[in-house]
Structure 1
Amino acid sequence: MLHTNRTRLRRALAGTVAAIAAVAGLSACGSGDADASGDKPVLRVGVQKDGVRAVLQEAGLLDDLPYEIEWAEFTAGPPIVEAASADQIDVAWVGSAPPIFGAAADANFKIVAQVQERDQKENSILVPSGSDIADVAGLKGKKVAVGKGTSAHGLLLQALERNGLTLDDIEANYLAPADGLAAFTSGEVDAWVVWDPFVTQAIEQNDAVEITGGAPDEQGVQFEIASSKSLEEPETRKSIEHFVKLLQEAWVWAIDNADAWGDGWAAESGLAPEITRAVARNKAADFGPVTPETIAAEQALADAFFEAGELPKQIDFASIVEPGLID
């Protein structure tokens, strides 16, 4: 067990180095700097293939902003946390687990809001059509693709533990979504743990089968995070607060305009409209301050990661929450 845990910690450190390298190519302009015309400050926003830009655009909320937005796209949440810590972005959206891994690495960021998906489902465990794996217990001894330090990692850990297994009982292949899809469709792994829109894409286009997902192994909570340095700069903090409130407004709009959001998401991401529309319809969510219930659930997840040897130290989740930016 000790050897296995040390190996995992070495992999985690390697992932951190890779994430830092990934953000090195981003714009080095400081948060709050004026744009090229000198008229407005710049807000640096990190995104994934998560439809955030599309929902803001389709809701008409990107017009006449008091700042210019500089978008930076990432493959998953862990490198976003690293980018925020390195002062390469000001604000971004991540899943439930990346802040935990960031806190354990002493990253300089804060959580400023939460997104509670109404279906309480952030990820799914998928197997190929025709697989002999019918449930989580069937993963024992199998190769499973999952993103290290992602919300999918959290779902996998807790689903295994609920079924009397640990991460030591499977062969985890830590892969980004694109590599996970390639490994899954080629048969290099037996299962894949991932989030939408990749879940819906794999089910619709690759005949993947979901064996579990969502509650009780996760709560469907995601977070808006911000760079600590950016929050300390009054002008940038003001821009972040404004942007977070735009997101809150956008998610209210999205509940009644899922197809319009889905179409914009497809145009932005290159995914098929039928995929993004389906995801948008399923992802009604409430955007607001981090609740005590969420803090307790995230603390339990952080403790589970530590006990499994996935973190170098225990963390206090409440200490990385910055209140006051949203009502």
Structure 2
Amino acid sequence: MPTSFRRAISMLLVLALLPLGLAACGGDDDGGGADTAAAASGDGGGESGGEKVKLRVGVQKDGIRAVLGKSGQLDDLPYEIEWSTFQAGPPLVEAAGADKIDIAWVGCAPPIFGAAAGAEFKVIAAVQERDRQENRLLVPRDSEIRAIADLKGKKIAVPKGTSGHAFILNALQSEGLSTDDVEFAFLAPPDALAAYQNGAVDAISIWDPFAIQAQQSLGAREIVAGEPHERGLGFEIASAKALEDPAKVEAIRDYVRRLSAAWEWAGENPDEWAAAWTEDTRLPLSVTRAAARRKASDIIPLDDTIVASQQRLADLFTEEGELPGEVTFTDIVDTSVLGESGGAR
């Protein structure tokens, strides 16, 4: 790998790892390092026995906290929010199952892996990114890889159980390839970037904003992204324990409504969201500006089409030997929390 490329990605790693270290207290497996924000009192629900409910919200470097705050949706909350920052979706599902958080937004694959592990959580709504794209398959600029078919015999870094994992499996299948034809290096995002830096892998499958940052800082070359290998679909998940508490359920409903309104605002004010996103995560403003223009999302109902799509993905993971057993996606779906609208405005 050229010296200039190694030097550039070293700079990227410093930028990427700094906010993770600050937010996750060294990147513990459970995401670690929760920081708490107590919201102002307001009218409405969220009271339990005369005490204000504390809603524990898990986030990544996904701009959620920033969009809620900048859009004014965190004003006058009838409950407190405790924020916990995680590196990726799988530890968010694990934390929900262990009753360490109440609600989080994750990609398409983490709920499947959580179900396979027997985690105690539910999928309560679907989230559709408006650009219908989340992940990119990236290679160094001078790589011989030009198409998906060229991945045969190559080593690919990807965080296990994430949307990036689902994306690369679907991409491989589209060319008649399987996990037997490639070698996966299952690494958390910072470690995946490190492996990419030192030439230990040939490609990386990763989501925005990491992918945007790699492209901007390194000139990393995109092989494929988005549809038809994914549709930018994610999910709001909730702890099963939280769903047993009526006051928590009401707070979850209110939070999802506020998030939906915040994303509506973000679609009209991407630069303001980007600035707040950068302030919250220390990602470069050029990265958050690019992300904000396509990452606004809509909370949509968990309809039969979505459930069927997730079941096909679960079956693919099982067929490829990535899961210990079969998963029935409907077993982790709970549409009663948000009703037929899925919580959308």
Please give the TM-score of this superposition, normalised by the length of structure 2. Answer: 0.84
Distance change (3 Å), C-alpha of 1:254 and 1:25 = closer
Distance change (3 Å), C-alpha of 1:260 and 1:320 = same
Aligned to 1:318: 330
Q: In 2, distance between residues paired with 1:24 and 1:61?
A: 25
- Pairs within 5 Å for 1:1-327: 22-23=29-30, 39-326=51-338, 327=341
Q: In 2, distance between residues paired with 1:132 and 1:53?
A: 40
By how many angstroms is 1:207 displaced?
A: 1.2
Pick which of 210-219 and 194-203 moved more. 210-219
The runs of 4+ residues in structure 1 deviating greater than 3 Å are: 24-27
Amino acid corresponding to residue 187 of structure 2 in structure 1: L
| SS of corresponding position for 2:52 | coil
Structure 2: 5+ residue runs without aligned partners?
Answer: 1-27, 37-45
By how many angstroms is 1:291 displaced?
A: 2.1
Q: In 2, distance between residues paired with 1:253 and 1:287?
A: 14
By how many angstroms is 1:185 displaced?
A: 2.4
Q: Deviations over 1:97-142 (max 9, x none)?
A: 0000011111100011111112221111000111110011111111
Q: In 1, distance between residues paired with 2:207 and 2:134?
A: 6
Q: In 1, distance between residues paired with 2:115 and 2:243?
A: 17
- How many residue pairs get matched? 302
By how many angstroms is 1:281 displaced?
A: 0.2
Amino acid corresponding to residue 117 of structure 2 in structure 1: A
Q: Deviations over 1:69-121 (max 9, x none)?
A: 11011000001100000000000110000000011111100011111112221
Q: Deviations over 1:281-321 (max 9, x none)?
A: 02232212212211111111000000111111111112211
Amino acid corresponding to residue 29 of structure 2 in structure 1: A
Q: Percent identity?
A: 52
Amino acid corresponding to residue 142 of structure 2 in structure 1: G
Amino acid corresponding to residue 157 of structure 1 in structure 2: L
Please give the TM-score of this superposition, normalised by the length of structure 1. Answer: 0.88
Distance change (3 Å), C-alpha of 1:214 and 1:25 = closer
Structure 1: 5+ residue runs without aligned partners?
Answer: 1-20
Amino acid corresponding to residue 304 of structure 1 in structure 2: L
| SS of corresponding position for 2:324 | coil
Amino acid corresponding to residue 65 of structure 1 in structure 2: L
Q: In 1, distance between residues paired with 2:137 and 2:29?
A: 27
Contact 2:31 2:91 in 1 (8 A): no
Aligned to 2:16: none
